[in-house]
Structure 1
């Protein structure tokens, strides 16, 4: 894009980790943990790690967003509530977990694995809030829940999975009133018992067993809460067949879902493999199930019966949806061309000692924020991306890339932006922007064009050494009034990309993001020092005071040599001069509105 902006490349020794609310980004720089502000790109914290910490085998995790404010509130506050953000970050290797707080430079916590009798630390995550840390041991032997306030622990034995990608566990989602992006209280965890799958529901804080349910599955592959926290979906292994169990929030089996009778069965009456992926559609009405039969079934949460089928065919013949094919010339220049239908996308290559049936099924499903668009990838045609319009219940457009698709990510705020990442050796991304579908017209009246190709090879260097670059890309969860941004990087560096250009940062002199209406109360009660008077003549001669940690202080004059006493005297001297000129002393502070 012509308006694309790219930040300077930041060197790192590990992949970057942006915070959930896109306020900060963290990475390793040698033996240090560096945290930058995504608003000013300034270095907020530069934390040295001990020599015993293994940076190469480390992982970074942010705490769930929370809206915290120091100090007591004063009546009444006219400003809006502070936006939630993550305040704590953890760094974990195989033996030790270290937690740091961005609000207090002196606070830190260390969670040690001890003798390591239960194996190494495999996965470390924050729990329901910033005061809880979950540590999974090797071989899925146990989960340790650490409370950072009291230091007490809860030992949960025999989880079925190691906790990666939230597989086999999840907190019940909370409502928007409890906090944006926050987590609920009850924890659902898949455990293993001799020959039986067990679903355990654990109470908040104490993690006492609320419900222990023996599942009707033979080999459960995951558990997933619905968006409203009313349902739990547990699906069986694909080798067992098509089996999906729906449980209520209190652990009662509501319904067991099987596939409709297929038209073709083998001579032994075996119908084939079952479920491969399960995703809840944004909202509270639909559940999507991707199967090995190359079909996506969308179930209604009222009856949990299939209402829509999204079939992926080996030969594409959809007159209402354009098919774009990526072309690469001898110079490496990439472009998209409109393909004629029927089009046959390339199939997955069959490797040695492999069968074509193993590379099959819906391996990726991604829904946009409002649940109107869905992007899918079939394993048998790994270079093809299907974009489905769930309002017209038909494909909107289809892309055939040059390399297999690696990830599909819709923007968390903008429902029309889709980020496509493929298995390129170079940092090349594809940004698809969907055109809105008017409710009064058919889908053929609003066709979308091909995705925009973002080539970032000139902006970021490949990692040093012989190791191949492991490119990663993800959207930043920016606010709705901000332009979309993404972070792209490899194991030794990262950069920030704004496909539509940067936002113009407007900051007023002396403004602080945590400033509230009770600042005058703090001054009058002596809780904060009295600031200098901010008129034009006085400000030009004395400068301004630092507005806080996140304030933009570029070019701010120094305040050395100015004590609180002289500031207090100058403030009220100007008030006396204003009274002599016939002005109200409350005009500047705004207190005249109260009388």
Structure 2
């Protein structure tokens, strides 16, 4: 494992945000916005903010990736299409939003809230592209769409939610050819007017109303586009009951889904409560619905009928799955041991004047990139992670941690890497690795081992002051041929972590991410092809060597980067036939091997 410490040296609130394509990372340190390259770790921009800017109530957002540098004064020399990249970044507080462009140091856009009569800025995000900014006001009074080209603004009244974490709104997904993280054109937004839920479908650029649909829900909780942009899933509040509405892309109600009747009235343990989470399974063929009854239902998009049930039981007795329980000794050393089945994980504590029935249901549900694995958490056993194999339709591994699980994140490019974060006071993460060819029919399969424990307390200090550390961790969106990386941090700093070591930077790779002319890249490549310089070693060969601080210096990473040895056996993640398998897989459904496709 290697870590690079790029923590700020200021004793002030710090916010960090990597770009969607992992080319840069932005950090708000004191009264400055610092943007650093994730290739060379050099400081690209150091932007001073006005004294009136409220650092404590700030938020940072990157623009959606764009393949063409529209802000460049001259077109690039190279004829090949440039990879998608985020070129703009915004930093906002309660009253003002400022947008900066990495391609032009002199370009700046400032959006002021004016008198603030409609409330403070709660959520600020880029719109469908880098020329649009969406701002949600306080008390869900309005959402504003700003055009950075024309200065035109469109007010959308009575949005139901504040827009945080994409709740209640979303752009229709675009094709993968438009880039990683690219957004479509039509905006779907939930609104609440005179006690009635409304679905607004807004046109691109102009944000004119394409369709205004009065929903049949009593208290809609969210909206989700399918990845192919054909369907909209809207679910009702849990207090209303189990109610899921499927709409077409133009706003027509296709089907309303309710829970099947149980054989016995007391089977679910709780009656009257419905849906808690909704996620589309990668592949456009399946929709997963997590309920308060501790069951995940996977629906087929051909009929929107349940075809798979993933049940979470209070007592674990699954002979085909491996169960690992975290142990902590007197010295604080963490390890995993195989738990004997049947195993009973700890239940959520019941508070005074509370019932245990309210602390249950599937609150976290994550699918890997190819939709073959699913990780879930049931609130009744908050320390337990269920990892399901959707080919064999049964649990593959069950992890019982010492602390409640906070987040489950699959790597965007590597479908076998799962990052688990719990509510520790120290920066401790869990990295679960699933071999793509492992079988779930035997608990003795060596590839279904316990997760690796990443203890980063020696690499990043706790924040200064009496405020508790708010640890956060997320994957960087690296390419499939690159080694995975993540960013871990708190209010006052962050570090970059490579669990398998860093990739070696080839000499002909451009060192300046913002140099679209590519002079250094072309000249260096020409020298290699003509034999003037030796061919640098490939990444696979470089990964066989140690990844210490000396290697980091040879690879071109800036001085001062610290490297830490660890995580033996990472070479087992490499698979020569992985690419061949993906190439021959085609567009087959993840449930083909289970025979479910033959039912529909």
- TM-score, length basis structure 1: 0.84
Change over 3 Å in CA distance of 1:270–1:470 after alignment to 2: closer
- In structure 1, the partner of 2:550 is none
User: Aligned partners of 1:476 and 1:358: how far apart in 2?
Assistant: 35
- In structure 1, the partner of 2:2 is 5
Contact 1:9 1:460 survives alignment (8 Å): no
Contact 2:90 2:97 survives alignment (8 Å): yes
Contact 1:123 1:135 survives alignment (8 Å): yes
Change over 3 Å in CA distance of 1:425–1:73 after alignment to 2: closer
Change over 3 Å in CA distance of 1:505–1:386 after alignment to 2: same
Aligned to 1:185, the other structure's residue is in SS state strand
User: Aligned partners of 1:453 and 1:553: how far apart in 2?
Assistant: 26
- In structure 2, the partner of 1:109 is 109
Deviation at 1:14, TM superposition (A): 2.0
Deviation at 1:84, TM superposition (A): 0.4
Aligned to 1:122, the other structure's residue is in SS state strand
1:31-180 correspondence runs (5 A): 31-69=31-69, 70=72, 80-180=80-180
Aligned to 1:229, the other structure's residue is in SS state coil
1:435-450 correspondence runs (5 A): 435-437=435-437, 442=441, 446=445, 448-450=448-450
Aligned to 2:205, the other structure's residue is in SS state coil
Deviation at 1:8, TM superposition (A): 1.8
Aligned to 1:391, the other structure's residue is in SS state coil
User: Aligned partners of 1:275 and 1:161: how far apart in 2?
Assistant: 18
User: Aligned partners of 1:445 and 1:422: how far apart in 2?
Assistant: 27
1:416-466 C-alpha deviation (Å, 9 max, x unpaired): 000000001000000000022368x94657450000000000010000011
How many aligned positions are there? Answer: 524
Aligned to 1:56, the other structure's residue is in SS state helix
1:343-382 correspondence runs (5 A): 343-382=343-382
1:75-118 C-alpha deviation (Å, 9 max, x unpaired): xx875311101000000000000000000000000000000000
User: Aligned partners of 2:474 and 2:307: how far apart in 1?
Assistant: 32
User: Aligned partners of 1:57 and 1:518: how far apart in 2?
Assistant: 39
Contact 1:368 1:411 survives alignment (8 Å): yes
Contact 1:396 1:443 survives alignment (8 Å): no
Deviation at 1:126, TM superposition (A): 0.2
Deviation at 1:358, TM superposition (A): 1.0
1:317-466 correspondence runs (5 A): 317-437=317-437, 442=441, 446=445, 448-466=448-466
User: Aligned partners of 1:117 and 1:29: how far apart in 2?
Assistant: 30
- In structure 2, the partner of 1:312 is 312
Contact 2:25 2:37 survives alignment (8 Å): yes
- In structure 1, the partner of 2:506 is 506
Unaligned runs of 5+ in 1: 521-533, 538-550, 556-595
Change over 3 Å in CA distance of 1:355–1:511 after alignment to 2: closer
Deviation at 1:298, TM superposition (A): 0.3
1:269-320 C-alpha deviation (Å, 9 max, x unpaired): 9932000000001111000000000000000000000000000000000000
Contact 1:475 1:486 survives alignment (8 Å): yes
Aligned to 2:464, the other structure's residue is in SS state coil
User: Aligned partners of 2:311 and 2:437: how far apart in 1?
Assistant: 22
1:57-87 C-alpha deviation (Å, 9 max, x unpaired): 000000000012446769xx87531110100
User: Aligned partners of 2:518 and 2:356: how far apart in 1?
Assistant: 68
Change over 3 Å in CA distance of 1:157–1:459 after alignment to 2: same
Contact 1:79 1:516 survives alignment (8 Å): no
Unaligned runs of 5+ in 2: 521-529, 534-554, 560-600
Contact 2:14 2:30 survives alignment (8 Å): no
User: Aligned partners of 1:157 and 1:515: how far apart in 2?
Assistant: 42
Structure number with greater Rg is 1
1:142-178 C-alpha deviation (Å, 9 max, x unpaired): 0011000000100000000000010000000001223
Change over 3 Å in CA distance of 1:316–1:554 after alignment to 2: closer
- In structure 2, the partner of 1:566 is none
- In structure 2, the partner of 1:225 is 225
Change over 3 Å in CA distance of 1:382–1:194 after alignment to 2: same
Change over 3 Å in CA distance of 1:330–1:206 after alignment to 2: same
User: Aligned partners of 1:337 and 1:166: how far apart in 2?
Assistant: 38
- In structure 2, the partner of 1:574 is none
Contact 2:322 2:443 survives alignment (8 Å): no
User: Aligned partners of 1:285 and 1:508: how far apart in 2?
Assistant: 42
User: Aligned partners of 2:209 and 2:511: how far apart in 1?
Assistant: 49
Deviation at 1:552, TM superposition (A): 7.5
Contact 2:218 2:240 survives alignment (8 Å): yes
- TM-score, length basis structure 2: 0.83
Higher RCO, Cα 8 Å, sep 6+: 2
User: Aligned partners of 2:239 and 2:378: how far apart in 1?
Assistant: 18
Contact 1:82 1:514 survives alignment (8 Å): no
Contact 1:262 1:271 survives alignment (8 Å): no
- In structure 1, the partner of 2:25 is 25
- In structure 2, the partner of 1:301 is 301
1:473-526 C-alpha deviation (Å, 9 max, x unpaired): 000001122110000000011000000001111124987667789979xxxxxx
Q: More deviation in 508-517 or 148-157?
A: 508-517
